[in-house]
Copies of this chain bind each other. A is one copy, B any other.
């Protein structure tokens, strides 16, 4: 159940409500609220609300409204917030911000290398993806690798290089964070915190990104075999921890055919848009694992109404330290941006057959 708090509630009324919420949930407090689209809200387990508790809540002077939803996720639900969540990436202090999730916006393209390898590789790629039309620079400083013997990323040094690339290009930066203790450090250098596939149910990490002091947006990749409910509940962890700025990222799910690395589930894009107000982007690189499929599946993703793409680009894919087989060149990126923009316009009724 979601409780909307009255804007004008005075501190006494608020304190009384918080005490009641502590009592109902058995929490020792403090209760975390989230500011979403102009409302201050808090959600609690519906199973804890009996008729008495409900009428107690409703009679609170600090309570604007209560919402009973049937979905397991609450704040992430389209049933609660019918308008799309619109999220601004980047701050005018350091870069050119871009907005994702609005209406009638062109798709947001996030591009860059799988891993930050060194200064030259990163800066070259950043400048090239900027020229190609990308609006956000991606690059991994901390790399989750299946084997402990694979390259694990440059770590803190990689963060510094990303910040430098942002300064040079004006592109806001997205990079992965792998553990709760690193969230604040990564947040000092990045504009979007990425949570990887393998961490989609790393609950302490979800909470830590939800609590990050800058309220930086979080890009939450789908797990290897997440159901939509599980994924949205992972988003709910972040939102309930105080951060409504969650971007979902479909990146393929595990299946039985070794021909592709994963199966890209594009149908989840319009399906999620029914279920949630959060923006949804697609990663055509990890989902296909093959460079030559990236342009085609980028087009299909935008035709399926994805609000953005996150694509691995490398100036020389064959020498990449990580995921070279699925990296494309900046030239290919430019063509993708051209084509997907046309499809986005067409969907909005702004293109015509020649």
Residue of B nearest to A340 (CB): B303
Copies of this chain assembled into the complex: 4
Task: Please name all residues of chain B whose beta carbon is closer than 8 Å to the beta carbon of A61 when the two chains form the complex.
Answer: none
Task: Please name all residues of chain B whose beta carbon is closer than 8 Å to the beta carbon of A237 when the two chains form the complex.
Answer: 148
Task: Please name all residues of chain B whose beta carbon is closer than 8 Å to the beta carbon of A236 when the two chains form the complex.
Answer: 147-148
Task: Please name all residues of chain B whose beta carbon is closer than 8 Å to the beta carbon of A230 when the two chains form the complex.
Answer: 146
Q: Which of A13-21, A128-136, A197-205 binds B?
A: A197-205
CA distance A145 to B236 in the complex (A): 12
Q: Are B297 and A266 neighbours in the complex by a CB distance under 8 Å? A: yes
CA distance A352 to B353 in the complex (A): 7
CA distance A183 to B342 in the complex (A): 45
CA distance A150 to B203 in the complex (A): 12
Q: Which of A79-87, A164-172, A174-182, A312-320 binds B?
A: A174-182
CA distance A297 to B269 in the complex (A): 10
Task: Please name all residues of chain B whose beta carbon is closer than 8 Å to the beta carbon of A180 when the two chains form the complex.
Answer: 179-181
Query: Which residues A313-354 have CB closer than 8 A to chain B?
Result: 339, 341-343, 345-347, 350-354
Q: Is A209 an interface residue (CB 8 A)?
A: no
Residue of B nearest to A265 (CB): B263
Task: Please name all residues of chain B whose beta carbon is closer than 8 Å to the beta carbon of A292 when the two chains form the complex.
Answer: 270, 274
Q: Are B45 and A149 neighbours in the complex by a CB distance under 8 Å? A: yes
CA distance A348 to B73 in the complex (A): 43
Q: Is A233 an interface residue (CB 8 A)?
A: yes
Q: Which 8 A-B pairs have the closest CB atoms?
A: A45-B149, A303-B303, A198-B201, A179-B204, A300-B304, A299-B303, A225-B225, A300-B303
